[in-house]
Chains A and B, each alone.
Chain A
Amino acid sequence: MAPTTAAVLEALKQVYDPEIPVDVVNLGLVYDVTIEDGVVRIKMTTTSPGCPVGDYLAQEVERILGKLDGVEQVRVEFVWDPPWSPELMSAHGRKSLGWG
């Protein structure tokens, strides 16, 4: 059985840019998740359009989601509209960075 969107987002909390102590979900990098016939499509961004770690994050997303039951394929698409800004972080993410 294909995973739920909530399960995918929970799994994505294991994906980090090693330079940022907040996971990609709480950082606000994941814009959309769709699941259809075992194919998980992730629409996400990077903190900057010039950021060269996008493919590293995509590999991590594929590696983590590939472990979930019912996932046959993972497709990651990067978008920069809307551009990421620190305001997209969750309350948990802000707290982790000491934003109070």
Chain B
Amino acid sequence: MAFAHRRMPFMVLGALSLLAALWAGLIRLGWALPPFAATEPPNHGPLMVSGFLGTVIGLERAVALRRRWAYGAPLLAGLGGLAWVIGLSVHVGHALTAAGSAFLIAIFVTLYRQHPTVYLAAMGLGAVSWLGGTLVWHGGAPLHRVVPWWIGFLVLTIAGERLELSRLMRLGAWSRAGFLAAGGVFVLGLLADLSAPELGVRLGGIGLLALAVWLLRNDIAWRTLRQSGLPRYMALSMLSGYVWLGVGGLLWLGFAGRFIAGPFYDAMLHSIFLGFVFSMIFGHAPIILPSVLGVALPFRRAFYAHWALLHLSVLARVGGDLGLPMLAPAWSGLANVLAIVLFLVNSARAVRLGPEA
């Protein structure tokens, strides 16, 4: 912990990818922003998933493992994002990202050997899914064939983590079997996607929906929701994220044939990437940032502002995508970006001001 400040460069690399991804996303939505190397539309997703989330997840796991070599995961993922940002050959980014995900797999293999459990296996499968997606992309597949694998990376990582905490809920054998069944169907969907994309997305949707129901039934967040301050804020972030995971699952199930491009595709991706994943990020930041950087991030009531803006803007985006009378995509997308920017501003402010009186 005394050397936590040395981890700052990893976080800077991740933040660079995040900001570039947001910029690229706005350009894709039609905002006339000056482009730079990374802002060609195809790099929005890779920068967000591999450059930002891969770096941050790699960093938090390297911190947990407490071995120097483990920092290869965030370093390589972060450099992969940087390669895309500065416009190096896309293959450089592929190679660095693949190497970063291989380090993350090695982290989970090491942890699993110390402590062989289902939740670590699930998180390890998530890292394999990240690598799988990168390899599928490098093999020339279009991004819509890569996306399910990258969603697998994030969903399995988060679900594994929540399974770990749910040990405190004294789950019965049927509940544990339910997690395995839900995760198993989702992974089957990923595998099916290789040869039969529509079937794969449909199966994946069943798995996502089942995982969302499982998390909503069994998560420890229901216990801390009754508390106040940070525990309640975190619980609300978890539970609202699970709702979006379920919405995403339903959309995958109902519109699997449209998992290529267009508004339905946008809704199928962003209900999960924004509604689920960013809700988890917002909720976990107050404990992960102190662990990773050694900087206290005390809870402030203002955190509910970025939480509310995130969920309302995702509702506007997904609703609009589905043809409901909502904001135009450019405006709901801008509101999504503002929610993330507000999260960054509120977090920086909390670090500077300290706890509320």
Q: Which positions in A face B, CB cutoff 8 Å?
A: 16-22, 46-56, 58-59, 78, 80, 83, 85-86, 97-99
Interface residues as binary, B98-122 with A (CB distance below 8 Å gives 1, 0 otherwise): 0000000001100100110101100
B234 touching A50 by the CB < 8 A rule?
no
Identity of the chain A residue whose Cβ is nearest the Cβ of B289 in the assembled complex: A56
Q: How far is it, in angstroms, between the C-alpha of A21 and the C-alpha of B1 when the chains are bound?
A: 25
Q: Are B291 and A55 within 8 A (Cβ)?
A: yes
The reply to whether B291 and A48 contact each other, CB–CB distance below 8 Å, is no
Shortest Cβ distance from B229 into A: residue: A18
Minimum CB–CB distance from B130 to chain A (whole Å) comes to 16
The complex places the Cα of A98 from the Cα of B218 at a distance, in Å, of 13
Q: Measured between C-beta atoms, what is the minimum distance from A62 to chain B in Å?
A: 9
List of B residues within 8 angstroms of A86 by Cβ: 167-168, 170
Min CB distance B6 to A, Å, is 13
- Asked whether, in the complex, the Cβ of B120 is within 8 Å of the Cβ of A48, the reply is yes
A21 touches B115 (CB 8 A): no
Q: Give 1 or 0 for each of B123-136: 1 = CB within 8 Å of chain A CB.
A: 10000000000000
| B288 interface neighbour in A21, A52, A58, A99, Cβ under 8 Å | A52
A93 closest partner in B (C-beta): B168
Q: Report the minimum CB–CB distance from B225 to chain A (whole Å).
A: 10
CB proximity of B119 to chain A, nearest CB, Å: 7
State how many angstroms separate the Cβ of B289 from the closest Cβ of chain A.
9
Please, which residues of chain B bring their CB within 8 A of the CB of A59? 1, 290, 294, 296
Partner among B64, B114, B168, B288 whose Cβ is within 8 Å of the Cβ of A20? B168
User: Are A48 and B224 in contact, CB atoms less than 8 angstroms apart?
Assistant: no
Q: Which residues of A contact B291 (CB under 8 A)?
A: 52-56
The listed residue (B64, B169, B230, B292) touching A50 by CB distance below 8 A is: B64
CB atoms of B287 and A18 under 8 A apart: yes
Question: A49: which B residues are within 8 A, CB to CB?
Answer: 64-65, 111, 114-115
Residues in B whose Cβ lies below 8 Å from that of A52: 60-61, 63-64, 288, 291-292
List residues of chain A with CB within 8 A of the CB of B1: 55, 58-59
- Sorted nearest first, the 8 A-B pairs with minimum C-beta distance are A52-B60, A55-B291, A56-B291, A52-B64, A50-B111, A56-B290, A18-B230, A18-B231
Could you give 28 example pairs across A and B, Cβ below 8 Å? A18-B230, A19-B221, A20-B168, A20-B220, A21-B224, A21-B227, A46-B64, A47-B167, A48-B119, A48-B164, A49-B115, A50-B108, A50-B120, A51-B64, A52-B60, A52-B288, A53-B288, A54-B291, A55-B1, A55-B292, A56-B287, A56-B288, A59-B290, A83-B114, A83-B115, A86-B168, A97-B168, A99-B170
Other A-B pairs, 16, CB within 8 Å; known A18-B230, A19-B220: A17-B287, A18-B224, A20-B220, A21-B227, A21-B231, A22-B168, A47-B168, A50-B107, A50-B115, A51-B164, A52-B288, A52-B292, A54-B291, A55-B63, A59-B294, A97-B168
Closest to B160 in A: A50
> How distant is the Cα of A48 from the Cα of B223 in the complex, in angstroms?
20
Bound Cα distance from A9 to B78, whole angstroms: 41
**B183 → chain A, closest Cβ, in Å?**
17
Within 8 A of A (CB), among B294-322: 294, 296
Chain A nearest CB from B142 CB (Å) reads: 34
CA distance A41 to B121 in the complex (A): 33
Residues of B within 8 A of A48 (CB): 115, 117, 119-120, 164
Residues of A within 8 A of B119 (CB): 48
The answer to whether B165 has its CB under 8 Å from any CB of chain A is yes
Taken together as a complex, chains A and B put the C-alpha atoms of A21 and B225 apart, in Å, by 10
Contacts of B148 in A (CB 8 A): none
Residues of the B chain whose Cβ atoms lie less than 8 Å from the Cβ of A83: 114-115
With A21-B224, A52-B64 in contact, is A47–B165 under 8 Å at CB? yes
Residues in chain A near residue B111, CB distance under 8 A: 49-50
- By a CB distance below 8 angstroms, the chain B residues around A55 are 1, 4, 63, 290-292, 294
Which residue of the partner chain B has the closest CB to A89?
A: B168
Most chain A CB neighbours (cut-off 10 Å) among B65, B224, B227? B224
